[in-house]
Chain A
Amino acid sequence: MENNKTEKETDRRKFLKLGLLSSVSVVAGTSLVSNLASVDEKLQSEKIRLLTPEGKIVEVDATNINKYPEAHITPTESRKGIPNRKFVMVIDLAKCNNARSCVESCQKAHQLDYHDEFMKILLIQNNEEDAPYWFPKPCFHCDEPPCVTVCPTGATFKRDDNIVLVDNNRCIGCKFCITSCPYSARIFNWGHKAKFDNKDIPYSPETGIPGTEGTVMKCDFCPDLLRQGELPHCAKACPMGVIYFGDKNEDIVTNGIETLRFSKLIKDRVGYRHLEHLGTKPNVYYLPAVNRDFPLERGLDKDEEILERYKNVPFIEEFIKSSKI
């Protein structure tokens, strides 16, 4: 117990300093953590000693250390999750102005086509009187994921670090997970695409690249970046700092600009989870769109195709009418 606590304490201090840099590879284990912390302070050319998975102590150049977590994570390894982490995302609806940077950087990183979006930005208006708001929607990485329950082959799985991933080498394409997800978080590869043939990078469920025809894909919280101590692509790309990402164990979330205590943020800003009553226990929290940084209309300065998507929202219907007349 005591030991765990001190380990957490050191982690937290480091976390504050390095953002999410404290995430470590499963393979390297916890010995890497203490070394990493010391690396930052000392000279980069220094040699440091590391414990290998076989239990040997080796001396390596300190500058090489950060590259290690970039190692390829096989489908089997990807089922384990990053130790001692409970990843969580907080989306501040008051800051979102539909800049779509999260969508675009996610698409670029996951090699998705224009219309394939792991992160979707919906325009939600709960009733006609209600103020509409932009609603970035990734996969919620539920604690009670219906998609994982119904999967007949275990192609989609829940890891210890809260992440729900899809192994598209295992997926048979029955699409049951798509129908069982109440948040429409999953998309299907309906046909063959040339990019699927690119075998330069070995496939890992942690990156989802290359895709495979006839299988399901979805937002993965970018575990490849988390292993390197970085934020997911969407959180990194957001110019408004809408997306906070962090670790529930450490009770910390950051959007790259500010680092906050997760529990306090949720309490102070009355954070909620979408469709809580379904009992799926999402790991994505929303902060209500009160005292907004931008008027909603700021997000309407987009391509016609993007605007067209929202034409059924009552607010937009009126907006189009008033702007045309």
Chain B
Amino acid sequence: MDLANRKKELVEEFSPMIVKTSLWGKLWIGGLIAIILVGLYAFFVQIQKGHEITGMRDNVVWGIYIINFIFFVGISYSGAFISGILHFYETSWKNSISRIIEIMTVLSLVIGPIFILLCIGRLDRLHYLFLYPRIQSPITWDIIAIMTDLIGCFIYLLLTFIPDFAILRDSKELEIPSWRRKMYKFLAIGYKDTPTQSKRLHKIKNIMSAMIIALAIVAYTVLAWIFSLTLQPGWNSTIFATYFIIAGLYSGVSVIIISMYVIRRVYKLENYLKKIHFIGAGIVLLVISLLYGYFTFSEYFAKWFSHKTSDTNLLNTLFGRYFWEFILANYIGIIIPIIILFFKKLRTIKSITFAAIVAVLGMWLNRYIIVVPTLETPFLPIQDTRTEYLFYSATWVEFALSFAGIAAFFLFFTLLIKLVPIIPMSGIIEHERKVIKKTKNYTDGLE
């Protein structure tokens, strides 16, 4: 195989993606920036007027900020988990999706914690967490876990980028401004794809991928503990950490499927993102949705069957005020994906993507169901006349910032795809190299 030629071919194939931006692409980016700007305005309003501007009050002190935080960190955890595992598989199909997952992992782990910051009353005192740290607080564990996870995932992402940066740096035909070429040169940190270098890179990636699996599980477990280590009736559950681990995968795999669908459509990557990927991811989602449904059922069934007063009160809230949310999150959001993914005939690219969308929305609502009704149903009855203190409803500020977070996720995703091709060129080359080596060994053996 002529390596240089193959690299050139690949660069040529993917160059439209990273060089040009279509009118629609520009509109898309502009729209996302506009949403983020609205979010920034909302943030300044919140800073100026205080948390009074949000729907949070003394009983429901955590609202959709925390829900978004759990949601995004969940996506990140499952991304790290899956990309860590994928690294150890030697298949050609993983190349098409590995980068999508890695980018998703890092971006959601950057955006998730921003939401927790929005929830903090005194942002100006954030450094107190490091000035006066108290190790027995689960928040301190969470900070340590998430920061380590973020660093780990970021390094891993960078490692997967390096060979591609090197290819882009070396391709003279690529019509990019010189600053970008300089940037590639800088980011490739002298990688020349020599056998020693690639061997070393592979070794580091092996270590890192094993590490990020562990880091991600720890980070999401600790996040679940923030809830389950309290005495609150809806949270104080021994299965919460495992439940969160499964739930995180549920939303993570769904987001992967949705991203695959969008990227395939937008960048016309039908050759790379094939139906087999959707079927594969769909079956993984099916298994996880069954597990997730099982955990959800166990969680509420135990509460209903043993009917402690505090649990009964919570269930009354859930099946009273939150009836439809509960049905949508924990029935529709689980059963619809299971039905679609269970029957072979129903498994088309579109239907699998639809199942994934239902799963993601159901998942977000499930987090809402976990956080808000619990806080509205404390041990001692809330005896208050102020409706905003009795029931939580998010204000425009909270929604604006939530949408800004989602928009930021899309924006950074789009920009990162502009930086490096969404299909890792180095991965393709590496795989082809291995195939040639194997056939050569085979033919050598025959002689």
A175 within 8 A of B: yes
Q: How far is the CA of A189 from the CA of B126 in the complex (A)?
A: 17
**Is residue B1 within 8 Å, beta carbon to beta carbon, of the partner chain?**
no
Does A59 count as interface, using CB distance less than 8 angstroms?
Answer: no
Size band of the interface chain A makes with B = 35 or more
Q: Which of B53-61, B281-289, B331-339, B343-351 contacts A (4 or more CB under 8 A)?
A: B53-61
Chain A residue at minimal CB-CB distance from B48 = A192
A91 to B383, CA, bound (A): 20
Asked if A52 CB lies within 8 Å of chain B CBs, one says no
CB of B136 closer than 8 Å to a CB of A? yes
User: How far is B122's CA from A124's CA once the two chains are assembled, in angstroms?
Assistant: 35
Instruction: Verify if A190 is at the interface (C-beta below 8 Å from B).
Output: yes
Which of chain A's residues have a CB closer than 8 A to the CB of B138?
150, 176
The answer to whether B382 has its CB under 8 Å from any CB of chain A is yes
Q: In the complex, which of the residues B136, B231, B386 contacts A180, with contact meaning CB atoms closer than 8 Å? A: B231
State A255–B52 Cα separation when bound (angstroms).
38
| Partner of B132 from A170, A174, A308 at Cβ < 8 Å | A170
How far is the CB of B176 from the nearest CB of chain A, in Å?
Answer: 45
Known A115-B386, A179-B375, A180-B230: A153·B132 in contact at CB below 8 Å: yes
Q: A183-B380, A214-B50 are in contact. Are A151 and B121 (CB under 8 A)?
A: no
Asked whether A137 is an interface residue with its Cβ less than 8 Å from the other chain, the reply is yes
**A260 contacts the other chain (CB 8 A):** no
Query: Which of B52, B57, B383, B389 gathers most chain A CB within 10 Å?
Result: B383
List residues of B (370-406) whose CB comes within 8 Å of A's CBs: 375, 378-386, 389
Interface check A199, CB cutoff 8 A: no
Chain A: interface secondary structure? loop
Complexed CA–CA distance, A276 and B119 (Å): 32
Q: B129, B134, B384: which has the most chain A beta carbons within 10 Å?
A: B134
Chain A positions 167-187 with a Cβ under 8 Å from a chain B Cβ:
170-176, 178-180, 182-184, 186-187
B280 within 8 A of A: no
Q: Which label, helix, strand, loop or mixed, suits the secondary structure of the B interface?
A: loop
- Residue A149 is within 8 A (CB to CB) of chain B in the complex: yes
Contacts of B61 in A (CB 8 A): 175, 178-179, 188
CB-contacts of B52-111 with A (<8 A): 52-53, 56-59, 61-62
Contacts of B26 in A (CB 8 A): none
Contact A175 B385 (CB under 8 A): no
Determine if B232 is an interface residue (Cβ-Cβ < 8 Å): yes
Q: A182 and B132 in contact (CB under 8 A), knowing A171-B122, A173-B120, A174-B121?
A: no
In the complex, are the beta carbons of A309 and B385 less than 8 A apart? yes
Would A310 and B120 be within 8 Å (CB), given that A170-B132, A176-B226 are in contact? no
Whole-angstrom distance from the CB of A127 to the nearest CB of chain B? 9
Docked complex Cα distance between A175 and B231 (Å): 15
Indicate if the CB atoms of A214 and B62 lie closer than 8 Å. Answer: no
Are B57 and A153 touching (Cβ within 8 A)?
no
> Would you call B442 an interface residue if the criterion is a C-beta within 8 Å of the partner chain's C-beta atoms?
no
User: A153 CA to B139 CA in the complex, in Å?
Assistant: 10
Does A305 make an interface contact (CB < 8 A)?
Answer: yes
On chain B, the residues within 8 Å of A152 by CB distance are 129, 133-134, 137, 139-140, 143
- The answer to the question of A295 belonging to the interface, with a C-beta cut-off of 8 Å to chain B, is no
Contacts of B121 in A (CB 8 A): 171-175, 188-189, 213-215
Q: Does residue A122 face the partner (Cβ distance < 8 Å to B)?
A: yes
Q: Is B125 located at the chain interface by the 8 A CB criterion?
A: yes
CA distance A14 to B226 in the complex (A): 47
Q: Kindly state the separation between the CA atoms of A176 and B129 in the bound complex, as whole angstroms.
A: 13
Whether A85 sits at the interface, judged by CB under 8 Å, is no
The residue from B56, B122, B379 contacting A172, defined by CB atoms under 8 A apart:
B122
What does the 1/0 interface line of A71-85 toward B look like (CB < 8 Å)? Answer: 000000000000000
CB-CB contacts below 8 Å: B354-382 with A: 375, 378-382
B131: chain A residues at CB < 8 Å are 153
Given contacts A153-B133, A183-B379, A214-B50, contact A172 B385 (CB under 8 A): no
Q: Contact between B50 and A175 (Cβ–Cβ < 8 Å)?
A: no
Q: How far is B126's CA from A174's CA once the two chains are assembled, in angstroms?
A: 10
Query: Cβ of B137: which chain A residues have Cβ within 8 Å of it?
Result: 149-152, 176
Question: Counting CB contacts under 8 A, is A281 at the interface?
Answer: no
Chain B residues near A213 (CB-CB < 8 A): 50, 121-122
- Which residues on B sit within 8 Å (CB–CB) of A191? 49-53
Contact of B382 among A155, A173, A184, A275 (CB under 8 A): A184
Interface residue ranges of B388-445 to A (CB < 8 Å): 389
Q: Are B128 and A309 in contact (CB under 8 A)?
A: no
Cβ-based interface call for A323 (8 A)? no
Q: Which single residue of chain A is at the shortest CB-CB distance from B232?
A: A179
User: Are the CB atoms of A278 and B231 closer together than 8 Å?
Assistant: yes
Shortest beta-carbon distance, A158 to chain B, in Å?
12
A146 at the interface (CB under 8 A from B): yes
Q: Are B384 and A309 in contact (CB under 8 A)?
A: yes
A123: CB under 8 A from chain B? yes
- In the complex, what residue of chain B is closest to A186 when comparing beta carbons? B58
**Known: A190-B56, A215-B121. Contact between A179 and B62, CB under 8 A?**
yes
Cβ of A154 under 8 Å from chain B = yes
Closest 6 A-B residue pairs measured CB to CB?
A173-B121, A214-B121, A191-B52, A191-B50, A152-B139, A175-B61
Q: List 27 A-B contacts (CB under 8 A).
A: A137-B380, A149-B137, A152-B134, A153-B125, A153-B133, A155-B132, A170-B125, A171-B121, A174-B120, A180-B232, A182-B231, A182-B380, A184-B59, A186-B58, A188-B51, A188-B61, A189-B121, A190-B56, A190-B57, A191-B50, A191-B51, A192-B49, A213-B50, A213-B121, A213-B122, A214-B120, A313-B381
What 19 additional pairs, Cβ within 8 angstroms, besides A149-B136, A154-B132, A312-B381?
Answer: A122-B380, A151-B134, A153-B128, A153-B132, A153-B133, A155-B128, A155-B132, A174-B120, A178-B61, A179-B61, A179-B62, A180-B231, A191-B52, A214-B120, A214-B121, A305-B385, A309-B385, A310-B383, A312-B383
Seen from chain B, the residues whose Cβ lies within 8 Å of a Cβ on chain A are 49-53, 56-59, 61-62, 119-122, 125-126, 128-129, 131-134, 136-140, 143, 226, 229-232, 375, 378-386, 389
